Chain A
Amino acid sequence: MLKFNKKLMLSASTAAALAVLTAGCMGGSPSTSDTTTEVNGKATIDGGSTYPVVNNKTSDYYVNPQVAKDAPKIYNGRVPTANELAAWDKDIMPDGTGLPEGSGTADEGSDIYDAKCVSCHGDFGSGGGGYPALSKGNAYDLQKTLTNNRWKDPDADGPVRVFGSYWPQASTLFWYIKDGMPHPFSKSLTDDEVYSLVAYILSINEMKIDGVEVDDDYVLNRDKFLKIKMPNRDGFIPKIDGPHGLDNVRAFYANPTNFGAQNLKKGAVRCMTNCQKESARTIYIKNGGIKDFLPPMSDVRDLPAEKKVAVNAAAIYADTCKMCHGNGVGPALGSKSDWAPYVAEGMDTLYKKGIHGTDAGMPAKGGASLSDADFKTVVDYLINGK
């Protein structure tokens, strides 16, 4: 209740928030005596409060009035130098922005590939070891597989989504090799080496530039690179380039059928009965499914069997015994004269007193969690000092 009132007071601090409030978004005041409350017309429990999104804006929760009112403009940093900008602005765009000069052949690329790439990406980019394949054959033919859908038979030929058949832009490949490859030591290739590797990857995808097949001796340079037209260049929706790119994006996501979503038209009632197709049935996991979970799935709370390790008497002394035995409260570490009266009673008695504790102030086992045997080792250490 208190929390709710505080929220109301906060909200009242801005006119915008008031508008949200009067729109009824906060709902009625939750009753403390009832576990069920109505917020925004919906049943909630456990003090539920709703912070709605209205017109794509997340209501008063979204505004930091302190920023908007008192500090509209802050500049806390400094302007980067031209060299700093050049050092970090290394991205490469489809129009060639950022693409460096340089050249290399597929043959040279093949040598670099065999030295630095094959261990992960496999022979001729065939993939392996969980790393992506770079080619599955002729890019133009494989682009046609993209309409394949494995509706029924999971072993049917699916769509081939590798660089040659799927990627819309070659600039992505150059940029990623330059920035992210080889994976364990990235940013270590020269521009010429990257041109060579790109030429090699084009060749194993059997691709052409301006009608010319990229073979072993093909010399790829910046001019030729910019002429690469990827087979699946037009395979993506919405169209994001150009001055209308963002308008296309907005229009695309305004239509739920474009992306497989269901939107309830204003005032429409959602389905509460008979909401599945007649033909729908229960599909079970086949062949046991995927179970190689690491670590194996378990909700067991029992402790795993502890490995027996030799007790570190010095460490236990420092952690536990020292606060008394090192401060004159109990017999001191390695002091023959301190320990003599206790040793005189016999070691069995001495151990027993230690294990169970004494009225004189020795806590049972000194408060340590030790087996009797380990405790005796620590006692021996205390008496002998080593």
Chain B
Amino acid sequence: MDNKKSNQEIDRRDFFKKAAASVTAIAGTSLISSNARADDPAIMNNVPWGQKWGDPVTKNRYGMPSKYEHNVLRRNTKLLASGNFRASIAVTPIQESMGIITPNGLFFSRSHGGVAHVDPSMYRLMIHGLVEKPIVLTLEQLKRYPSVTRTHFIECPANGGQEWRGPQFNSVQFAKGFMSCAEWTGVYLKTILADLGLDPKAQWMLAEGSDNSEMGRSIPIDKVLDDAMIVWGQNGEALRPEQGYPVRILLPGWEGNLCVKWLKRLEFSAEPWYAKEETSKYTALTPSGKAIQHFYANEVNSTVTSPSPEIDWTSLKDGDIVEIQGLAWSGMGTITGVDISFDGGRNYVEAKLKGLVLPKSWTRWSYMHTYKKGEKLILASRAMDDAGYIQPTIDQEVGLVGVECVYHRNAVETWEVTKSGKINHVEIRTMKEVKDA
């Protein structure tokens, strides 16, 4: 043991010497002086996990996150807690998310009658109505169709919907976390329909769940024959019960509410259904008194996730280089660019897209920033997609649809960076009726 330690010390001294030499060569100053600071106990002392047996492989047959990650959780609030948390939502800690995949245990959870637990041996999917050959499939039969695996986000269209009349949540988890992104495995619905003889009169499809609320929505045939998927896989494993185990429908980019979970029935018809959620909720009331019904695609959107009210800059020192990171997404296409603003969306510069840029998927973006201690900023991000859409300002959006829509708010989001590096959710807008866009 002693022997080992002294070896380490020699290595370390050697490394310091070299590092100091190179730093001196560049900057003319020595950053590292081994006597100037106290030695770090995290380095100097043996640590408990370094000397004792760890867990045997027989522990945790299904692995769990480190116990230290105990605050990385889905959260809810009483404002959105109808039905003793059975017609409710728990939102994703997007401030903690990495890359473009949400771990299954953190994927946002929304149900209208609680999370159902479906016995897969009793699972049946029925497809009928305006088709020549109706069909009943077991889970095993369904999985025999040729599968595809696609990365798509699912977003509740009420994401950001509490803030039409002003900011309410000082939190990116609650302001923008009504969404998650996963790699889904399933079959394109059009693959199953190829042999069912779809009647040309079929304009609409009802998707209905088997949960106690029998959540149902009418889906236009255009989407059914485009990229609608029947999915059973989520990030390499079976769907979680919260996501509709064993089977849900996935309409890439469209309202999460349309992606019916615990799917039991698809019916084709010439007329739409007027199911409960597509009439009483999930409609957007405009100032004319008319409400937009059958609101489908989640519009292009983005947010800064770091910094955010949860991840502030109070520990940064003057001159620190920090990566401003965020997510961008569009239910209408692929993200083509993200701009970042430091003055609340008055002026923009281009940020960089990071990693895979997939259609109707979370896209991560990045901007390297040199922090000036005490600087006051208002950070904003603005995304564009290849359908030609760009995020509106708040004034542009409410100028067109008012402040009572509840759903589909995608105006530019802003974070105030205070002098001390704290982050506050603010909105940049005109607080009176805006008529022109």
Contact = CB atoms under 8 A, between A and B. Distances in A.
Contact of B353 (A45, A78, A176, A246): A45
Contact of A79 (B71, B134, B208, B348): B134
Contacts of B48: 369
Given A91-B216, A369-B48, 20 more contacts: A44-B352, A46-B355, A75-B135, A75-B195, A95-B271, A130-B78, A130-B83, A132-B82, A151-B433, A161-B285, A169-B274, A240-B294, A245-B272, A259-B299, A260-B400, A261-B299, A276-B346, A299-B310, A299-B311, A301-B71
Interface stretch (B2-10, B31-39, B167-175, B232-240): B167-175
B220 interface: yes
Contact of A91 (B148, B273, B346, B416): B273
A305 interface: no
A211 interface: no
Contact of B393 (A149, A276, A319): A276
Interface string A229-261: 000000111101111011001100100111111
Given A272-B347, A290-B162, A299-B96, A89 B128 contact: yes
B169 A53 contact: no
Contact of B168 (A62, A285, A365): A285
B267 A80 contact: no
B249 to A, nearest CB: 16
A288 to B, nearest CB: 8
Contact of B174 (A51, A149, A262, A293): A293
Nearest to A71: B146
Interface stretch (B15-23, B101-109, B313-321, B420-428): B420-428
Nearest to B96: A299
B265 to A, nearest CB: 5
Given A93-B274, A159-B404, A76 B357 contact: no
B128 A80 contact: yes
Given A76-B144, A168-B279, A280 B171 contact: no
B222 A250 contact: yes
Interface in B326-377: 332-334, 336-337, 339, 341, 344-350, 352-360, 366
Given A74-B191, A179-B214, A283 B166 contact: yes
A51 B359 contact: yes
A44 B353 contact: yes
Interface of A: 36, 39-40, 42-54, 56-59, 61-62, 64, 66-67, 71-80, 84-85, 88-89, 91, 93-95, 120, 129-132, 146-152, 154, 158-159, 161, 163, 166-169, 171-172, 175-176, 179-180, 183, 186-187, 235-238, 240-243, 245-246, 249-250, 253, 256-266, 270-277, 279-286, 289-295, 297-304, 319, 363-365, 367-369
Contact of A49 (B141, B289, B357, B389): B357
B68 interface: yes
A336 B87 CA distance: 62
Given A64-B146, A257-B400, A283-B431, A147 B188 contact: no
Contacts of A274: 346-347
A175 B275 contact: yes
B283 interface: yes
B379 interface: no
Nearest to A57: B226
Interface string B375-396: 0001000001111111111111
A45 B352 contact: yes
B98 interface: no
B220 A299 contact: no
A259 B290 CA distance: 12
Contact of B384 (A56, A158, A265, A270): A270
Contacts of B267: 89, 91
A168 B291 CA distance: 10
A290 B169 contact: yes
A253 B67 CA distance: 47
A297 B75 contact: yes
Given A289-B167, A301-B69, A236 B283 contact: yes
Contacts of B138: 77
Contacts of A263: 387-390
A149 B344 contact: no
B52 interface: yes
5 contacts: A48-B355, A163-B280, A249-B220, A289-B169, A293-B77
A182 to B, nearest CB: 10
Contacts of B226: 56-57
Contact of B170 (A154, A257, A289): A289
Contact of B141 (A77, A95, A297): A77
Contacts of A245: 203-204, 271-272
B276 A77 contact: no
Contact of B213 (A59, A61, A76, A186): A186
Interface string B57-85: 00000000001111101011111011110
A40 B363 CA distance: 15
Contacts of A249: 220, 294
Contact of B350 (A43, A180, A243): A43
Given A80-B134, A300-B71, A284 B424 contact: yes
A280 B212 contact: no
Contact of A183 (B81, B83, B290): B83
Contacts of A293: 75-77, 171, 173-174
B258 interface: no
B248 interface: no
Nearest to B218: A240
Contact of B386 (A39, A52, A71, A84): A52
A176 B276 contact: yes
A243 B272 CA distance: 11
Contacts of B181: none
Nearest to B343: A276
Nearest to A72: B194
Contacts of A183: 83, 86-87, 113, 212-213
Given A61-B359, A76-B142, A367-B52, A282 B428 contact: yes
A310 B48 CA distance: 22
B45 interface: no
B406 to A, nearest CB: 9
Nearest to B358: A51
A237 B290 contact: yes
B133 interface: yes
B146 A303 contact: no
A130 B293 CA distance: 24
A64 B402 CA distance: 42
Q: Which 9 A-B pairs have the closest CB atoms?
A: A367-B53, A53-B333, A260-B401, A77-B137, A73-B195, A147-B289, A236-B293, A179-B214, A58-B359
A42 B292 contact: no
Contacts of A180: 112-113, 212-214, 276
Given A91-B267, A264-B390, A40 B336 contact: yes
Contact of A236 (B135, B291, B355, B433): B291
Nearest to A277: B395
Contacts of B95: 299
Most chain A Cβ neighbours within 10 Å, of B87, B203, B350, B424: B203
